[in-house]
Chain A
Amino acid sequence: MHEMGIVLHLAKTLDQTAEEHKLTAIGKVVLQVGEVSGIMTDLFTDAWDYFKVRHPVLKDSTLVLETIPAVTWCDHCKRTYETVKYGKTCPHCGSGETWLQQGNECVIKEIEAE
């Protein structure tokens, strides 16, 4: 299960951050999640709520997910388009020589803590 794996790593990364910054409690955690990262947001927040209680610093935290839109670059006509709407085929020129430019990421943007 993909979401569970990410949750485990997120918890570990935040525990380390708390140690580094000498934090006692983390509140809001803002994540930026790509539109085509394959992360199911509901599953992800559920997994987080289930898991966070095991970490004292994280037990009252809440996840806020911001979506990063997916954009594809066309190598043929050198233009970009919305990945989710058109998929692999460039709507400008019909080429399949296209690569995902953004939308696959999962980044911790910021946290609120004390």
Chain B
Amino acid sequence: MKLIKLNASVTASNEQDAEALRARMKEAGTLLVNVMSSPGSGKTTLLSRIIRDLSDLKIGVMEADIESDVDARRIEALGAKSIQVHTSGMCHMDAGMTAAAWEAMETKDLELIFLENVGNLICPAEYDTGAALNLMLLSVPEGDDKPLKYPLMFQKSDALVITKTDAMDFFNFNPEKCRQSVLKLNPDIKIFPVSAKTGAGMDALESYLRESLREFT
């Protein structure tokens, strides 16, 4: 027996899979956006709104949140390509599962694919899915102290979408305090306060998505 020093991440194989998937999607001209948040923070509602607003783009959705096809059917009803991913109780999506879901969509023509990751603020942050853009949602009712409790996801995300801003008055949510603590964790993160209900702030987020698509492909 010989001793081999590795100091490797336990998930090193996933990181390789993720790089490979990112390269293949770039070649196909598809921007994959990984959407992470707690359950109920408004992922499906936000995606539905984006699909309607960006009707000139070919959009698809991978639904990995909970094993039911309710969300997938909500998306399909809007005319977007959607697929339900069965995570078998796993707490996150990894790059292998994401690659399999992309194959199962049976089209390489989509311009934008959203991955609605499992609703959970811890595990999805630890696994690179192969997405070129990582989006995190934080809803106003969850409170502005979430960054302190779950720092990793804020650090791994390219953009933070603060959802349900129409409910700001009913909750003790201080947007400035939230911004300060998020920027401390991740100085490069973009922050978009939106309401999918009233449409407030959606323009800025949607321009950002278009711009990211242009830059990636």
A residues near B (Cβ < 8 Å) are: 1-2, 4-6, 9-10, 12-13, 15-17, 21, 27, 31, 38, 75, 88, 96, 99-100, 104, 106-114
Contact = CB atoms under 8 A, between A and B. Distances in A.
A4 B90 CA distance: 8
B13 interface: yes
Contact of B6 (A5, A17, A27, A38): A17
Interface residues on B, range: 20 to 34
Given A5-B92, A13-B8, A107-B10, A38 B122 contact: yes
Contacts of A88: 148
A73 B94 CA distance: 30
Nearest to A75: B184
Interface of B: 1-14, 16, 89-92, 94, 122-123, 127, 148, 151-152, 184-185
B2, B10, B184, most chain A CB atoms within 10 A: B10
B13 A13 contact: yes
Main secondary structure on B side of the interface with A: mixed
B8 A107 contact: yes
Given A75-B184, A108-B6, A114-B1, 14 more contacts: A1-B91, A5-B91, A6-B10, A6-B11, A9-B10, A9-B11, A9-B13, A13-B10, A13-B12, A16-B12, A104-B152, A108-B9, A112-B3, A112-B4
B123 A110 contact: no
Contacts of A15: 13
